[in-house]
Amino acid sequence: MTTVENSAHDGGAAHRLAVLGAGVMGVGITTLALARGIPVILVDVDGAKLDEARARISQELRMARLMGVLPPDGAVGELVTATALDAVAGATAVIEAVTEARDLKAEVLAGVSAVVRPGTPLVSNTSSIPIDELAGFVPRPAELIGTHFMNPPYLIRTVEVIRGARTGEATMAGVRSLLDALGRKGVVVRDAPGFVTSRLLHPMINDAAKVVQAGTATAEAVDALMQDCLGHATGPLRTADLIGLDNLVDSLWVLHERTGDEGARPCDLLLEMVRAGDHGRKSGRGFYEYEEVRP
């Protein structure tokens, strides 16, 4: 177990957050919490990935402060990194942010539920998997709830909150308190595959990729038209690069399998790009190319 950064200030004193998974979303959520003075335990089985995460978190904290989207003068929270779930025993809430695969999420959630105190909110930051489906794998289903933070979490202030059929009132209250401490607005929706944001956005991105695949327009043209004519903030294909094309494909398969919607079947272009390792911004290449940013 490794500790870095400074101690938390009073704004985060009521919370000690555990984040499971040091990928793009785990790093982003950790960055947001630390900047709000909330101590975080970041867990990943890959120690090298945790080393990379520390550098990325420092970089994102600097970027967020330069953009003026986080408190400029507060002390950051304490960051502890660990490779074992036992480290989260004292957490007041747990956010799971591992790969969008049901069996992996179920395994992690079941494991952490055996470590934390009863009554601790267990939050799955899933983009598409129904919360009640995951609740079948934990011993206390009332403690499980879903959130869908958008990337980057320090920039986007609204969070989709998914209440499962068995999510309890105490868990709802705990998540509201955590979101308040994070300076985020939660919008509560009912449980369903893809919820609201992914159910609408991800098939639309798939359609945009089909337009490029057919040769009708370039990615740049698609995004320019969607931005300038239809008011999409970044364009669907830049958004896809930000999500991560591998994550997008995983989410589309979840939607396709659980809804039968053929519009959610990942198109050939997306599948080819993922196979080639072109996963978007995080890999340096997706629909666009990105210069490597060093911390």
Residues that are catalytic: 148
Sheet holding 122-124, edge to edge: 2-4, 79-82, 40-43, 17-20, 93-96, 122-124, 144-148, 158-163, 185-190
Q: Is 230 exposed, middle or buried (0-12, 13-18, 19+ CB in 10 A)?
A: exposed
Range 181-192 burial, b when 16+ CB lie within 10 A, else e: bbebebeebebe
Alpha carbons 60 and 18: distance in angstroms, whole number = 19
Token pair in block for residue 116: 């934390």
Alpha carbons 294 and 54: distance in angstroms, whole number = 12
At 232, the amino acid letter reads H
Q: Give the residues across from 162 on adjacent strands.
A: 146, 189
CA distances from 151 to 9, 220, 281 (A): 25, 21, 11
Residues 6 or more apart whose Cβ sits within 8 Å of residue 215: none
**Which residue, chain included where needed, has tokens 């480290």?**
87
115, 40 Cβ separation under 8 angstroms: no
